[in-house]
Amino acid sequence: MSTIKLSPRQEEIIKLVKELEPITSEQLAAKLSVTRAALRPDLAILTMTGILEAKPKVGYIYSQKPSYSLIYDYIRNIKVKDIMSKPVMVDENTTVYDAIVHLFLNDVGTLFIESGGVLTGAVSRKDFLKMAIGGTDMHKVPVGIIMTRMPNIIFVEKEDTAYLVAQKIMEHEVDSLPVIERTFNGSKEVLKIVGKVSKTNITRLFVKMGGNNQVG
């Protein structure tokens, strides 16, 4: 598999441009004792990766603002369905105590509440802790009492981008978002929960992106 490594000549070009900018391709070719044509592929790589900028009628300058649009494009091409996990769900009549046990058994930070596959609520470690310091009897109170209820839950869909999820997670200051699928019950639209995406999924993706040269 090929990787983008700058060649020694490309490194040398960058060094020259940094020293002598603006510098034309003729001047660069002269410095490197090669023809302009021979430099063309290198200069194409360096400008398209945003390392150098070509100023018409001036010459090449070293870009203070390298472009990361490959990263940008890449990130925006990863879909929710590529990174989502299985949601852990409980019924809203489950006691808070049993729900917390569920949370630990499944090692998740958020439980989703459903009724017949339809998303009705969500409850996080933060909600549970808030209740715990409130002194409520967690063996008696059902999770339905403390959960965040639809339609107040931010959600995403399978075809949304990983970028959108991360953005919503940061904007709404939550750890995890349900992934829903729109179906119809007669003429009424219902939201079935089919997955979840959390900061953990984003962090895992980040490790995957940095861990090898390919993803997916």
What is the contact surface with a copy of itself in residues (CB under 8 A)? Answer: 1-5, 37, 40-41, 44-45, 47-50, 53-54, 63, 65-76, 97, 100-101, 103-104, 107, 109, 125-126, 128-130, 132-133, 138, 161-163, 166-167, 169-170, 173, 175, 199-200, 202-207, 209-215
Residues ≥6 apart with Cβ < 8 Å to 180: 119, 155, 156, 157, 191, 192, 193, 194
Give min distance, CB of 38 to a copy of itself, in A.
10
Which CB sits closer to a copy of itself, 192 or 204?
204
Tell me which residue of 36, 18, 37 sits closest to 27, measured CA to CA. Answer: 36
C-alpha 78/C-alpha 67 separation (Å) is: 19
Where does residue 4 rank: exposed (0-12), middle (13-18), buried (19+ CB within 10 A)? exposed
Task: Quote the least distance from Cβ 118 to a copy of itself, whole Å.
Answer: 27
Helix axes 199-211, 162-172, angle to 10 degrees: 140
Q: How far is the CB of 183 from a copy of itself (least distance, A)?
A: 29
Least distance to a copy of itself, CB of residue 185, Å: 34
Query: Closest separation between CB of residue 96 and a copy of itself, Å?
Result: 9
For a copy of itself, the closer of residues 26 and 115 by Cβ is 26
In the complex with a copy of itself, which residue's Cβ is closer, 88 or 150? 88
Q: How far is the CB of 204 from a copy of itself (least distance, A)?
A: 6
Which residue, 146 or 191, has its beta carbon nearer to a copy of itself? 146
- Give the distance from CA 18 to its chain's centroid: 34
Residue 99 CA to residue 166 CA, distance in Å, equals 26
Compare residues 151 and 210 and give the one whose CB is closer to a copy of itself: 210
Cis before 142? omega within 30 = no
Helix ranges, the chain (H): 8-20, 25-32, 36-48, 69-75, 80-83, 96-106, 125-134, 143-146, 162-172, 199-211
Q: Which is nearer to a copy of itself, 23 or 166 (CB)?
A: 166
